[in-house]
Amino acid sequence: MKPVDGIEEKTNEYVAERVELQKAFFRGGHTKPYAFRVDALTKLYDAIKKNENEIISALKADLNKSETEAYTTEIGILLEEIRFTLKRLTKWMKPQKVKTALTHFGSKGYQVPEPYGVTLIIAPWNYPFQLQLAPLIGAIAAGNTAILKPSELTPVTSRLIAKLMKEIYPPDFVEVVEGGVQTTEYLLDQPFDYIFFTGSVPVGKIIMQAASKRLIPVTLELGGKSPCIVDETADLELAAKRIAFGKFTNAGQTCIAPDYLFVHKAVREQFLTELTKVIKEFYSDNPLQNEQYGKIVNERHFSRLSTYLADGEVVFGGKVDGENHKIEPTLLIPHHTDVDVMKEEIFGPIFPVMEFDSIDEVIQFVVDRPKPLALYLFTKTKEVEENVLNSVSFGGGCVNDTLMHIATPFLPFGGVGESGIGSYHGESSFMTFSHYKSVLKQTNQFDFSFKYPNAKNGLKIIRRLMK
Ligand code: NAD
């Protein structure tokens, strides 16, 4: 499949009409029954299964993703999320009983999950299929309608998502509005009930500002610089394999990829030897020609990444192919920590390597910067693990692995501080797209008169009950 031409922008009127349609459908109550949600999720599951080859081809065209990467990081993860949701949806939808206070004796308290209504889900280009549809699973499970806005930078996948959604859903339930910045601005001007955004920190701020005009609740799944730390007790061979996998999957264009590395100076040489060995094993001596190795999404990002190569001494890799937008897996010793590669989110296959003497230096370095989306620590020392986990705030991460925390529906996924607001996956997706309505059901069997104005000894009794 060849890349298609750019995605056209939509008009404000068009966008407003799409939202109005969904408002009416939601008000009709169609999306709320359990059977409707199950049917919609099953349709999504079947469509993904049936169109596996087309999805793989679209990801190949947009990002040169290998079939293995396309399956594990985009298709398989969605199928698992849908199965997980279908198995537990009845339980999640049930009102949750809570205890009541002594002052409320005789009454019952419970929380009822209800859908927000019409939701907007905006996706980035790096995992363009998965990051568009994973939030949709939560939105549907919770009983919402959704407008999807795929990234215009991966046009083949954007078109495919639009086609698949049209085949399985009516537009008043789920509709894809393709477009770029202009279209998104029009969308952000609409009265959505919830906005779920995945993308960069600067655009996340634009989204939150736009949402604030109508006080629309948001989830922001953003990015940043995720540190990776290898101490002197780590299993170096295993760490090298897991770090190379996390850093160079999708040519480093992964929100939770290790951004930079701190390795203990006692094991630095040995670790770099292991790391270069494993990179060659994964992508051969000539990664630029290797089919398993991804490309950079476009010219702009290719040029941006190429300039980082001058920010330090290249100790491995460093070759580029401008025509095909490819950059070798590259290890770089930065000139200092003030260069761009150490200040900006890299989002590519360039890996700055720094050494450390004491873990406290590393902790200080990380906490002096915005809270990362992910953190990876490789150690066999319990005290080091506890020290890092207790001292550093980050969205989520792994001890002795990379990326894997995102791939289990049992763990909520999200950022903190500048790396994001809110979380999703598994039950937390359902919770994200639900408002939990608190309800107190009072008994009519009796009524405490002491709470009313002028009740005899009222205040005395209240004081006793509420002390
Ligand atoms: P981006 O912020 O440039 O774009 C994301 C979406 O916002 C796209 O659909 C785009 O059309 C739209 N957009 C872009 N500029 C806009 C503007 N000015 N106004 C309104 N809408 C606009 O992000 P990207 O380049 O597509 O993706 C890369 C970023 O996303 C990285 O920072 C990465 O860390 C982050 N990311 C985060 C996660 C996560 O789960 N936390 C996952 C993937 C990517």
Q: Whose CA is nearest to atom 23 of ligand 1?
A: 199
Give 116's contacts (C-beta < 8 A, 6+ positions apart).
Answer: 142, 144, 193, 194, 217, 433, 434, 435
**Spatial separation of the C-alpha atoms in residues 330 and 275, rounded to whole Å:** 11
Q: Whose CA is nearest to atom 15 of ligand 1?
A: 181
Q: Report the chain's terminal Cα–Cα distance, integer Å.
A: 71
At 9, give phi and psi (nearest 5°).
-80, 150
Determine the average pLDDT of the residues in 1-17. 77
Q: For the chain, what's the residue count?
A: 467
Determine the average pLDDT of the residues in 305-332. 97
Q: Tell which CATH classification among 3.40.309.10, 3.40.50.720, 1.20.58.1030, 3.40.718.10 matches the domain 227-414.
A: 3.40.309.10
Least confident of 178-192, 220-234, 394-408, 442-456: 442-456
Coil vs helix vs strand at 158:
helix
The pLDDT, as a whole number, for residue 103 is 85
| pLDDT of 49 over the 50 cut | yes
Q: What token pair was written down for 358?
A: 């004491």
**Spatial separation of the C-alpha atoms in residues 410 and 433, rounded to whole Å:** 17
User: What angle (nearest 5°) sits at the alpha carbon of residue 99, between those of residues 94 and 100?
Assistant: 125
| pLDDT of 292 over the 90 cut | no
Determine the average pLDDT of the residues in 241-251. 97
Ligand 1 atom with the smallest distance to the CA of 223 is 34
Question: pLDDT tens across 364-398, in order?
Answer: 999 999 999 999 999 999 999 999 999 999 999 99
Question: pLDDT tens across 106-152, in order?
Answer: 999 999 999 999 999 999 999 999 999 999 999 999 999 999 999 99
The pLDDT, as a whole number, for residue 5 is 55
Determine the average pLDDT of the residues in 204-208. 98
Ligand 1 atom with the smallest distance to the CA of 415 is 41
The pLDDT, as a whole number, for residue 132 is 98
- Mean pLDDT for the chain? 96
Q: Whose CA is nearest to atom 12 of ligand 1?
A: 181
DSSP code per residue over 265-314: TTTHHHHHHHHHHHHHHHH-S-GGG-TTS---SSHHHHHHHHHHGGGEEE
Q: Residues 276, 423: contact at Cβ < 8 Å?
A: no
DSSP lists the bridge partners of residue 215 as: none
Residues taking part in catalysis:
221, 255
Q: Whose CA is nearest to atom 9 of ligand 1?
A: 151
Give domain limits for the chain.
3-222+418-439, 227-414
Q: Which CATH class is domain 3-222+418-439?
A: alpha beta
Determine the average pLDDT of the residues in 321-333. 96
Task: Indicate the pLDDT class of residue 2, thresholds 50, 70 and 90.
Answer: very low
| pLDDT of 4 over the 60 cut | no
The pLDDT, as a whole number, for residue 6 is 73
Ligand 1 pocket (Cβ < 6 Å) reads 122-126, 131, 149, 151-152, 180-181, 184-185, 198-200, 203, 206, 221-223, 255, 345, 347, 373, 415, 420
Ligand 1 atom with the smallest distance to the CA of 373 is 41
Coil vs helix vs strand at 357:
coil
**Spatial separation of the C-alpha atoms in residues 37 and 115, rounded to whole Å:** 12
**Spatial separation of the C-alpha atoms in residues 155 and 125, rounded to whole Å:** 9
Neighbours of 24 (CB within 10 A): 11
- Percentage, residues of the chain above pLDDT 90: 93
Q: Residues 175, 22: contact at Cβ < 8 Å?
A: yes
The pLDDT, as a whole number, for residue 399 is 98
| pLDDT of 3 over the 50 cut | no
Give the pairing of strands 227-230 and 260-264: parallel
| pLDDT of 467 over the 90 cut | no
DSSP code per residue over 173-233: TEEE----HHHHHHHHTS--SEEEEES-HHHHHHHHHHHHTTT--EEEE-----EEEE-TT
Alpha-carbon distance values, 150 to 108, 129, 155, 261, 448 (Å)? 44, 8, 9, 32, 57
CA dihedral over 446, 451, 452, 456, signed as positive or negative: positive
| pLDDT of 1 over the 50 cut | no
Q: Residues 82, 44: contact at Cβ < 8 Å?
A: yes
**Spatial separation of the C-alpha atoms in residues 243 and 289, rounded to whole Å:** 22
Determine the average pLDDT of the residues in 279-289. 95
Question: pLDDT tens across 157-177, in order?
Answer: 999 999 999 999 999 999 999
Least confident of 32-36, 339-343, 461-465: 461-465
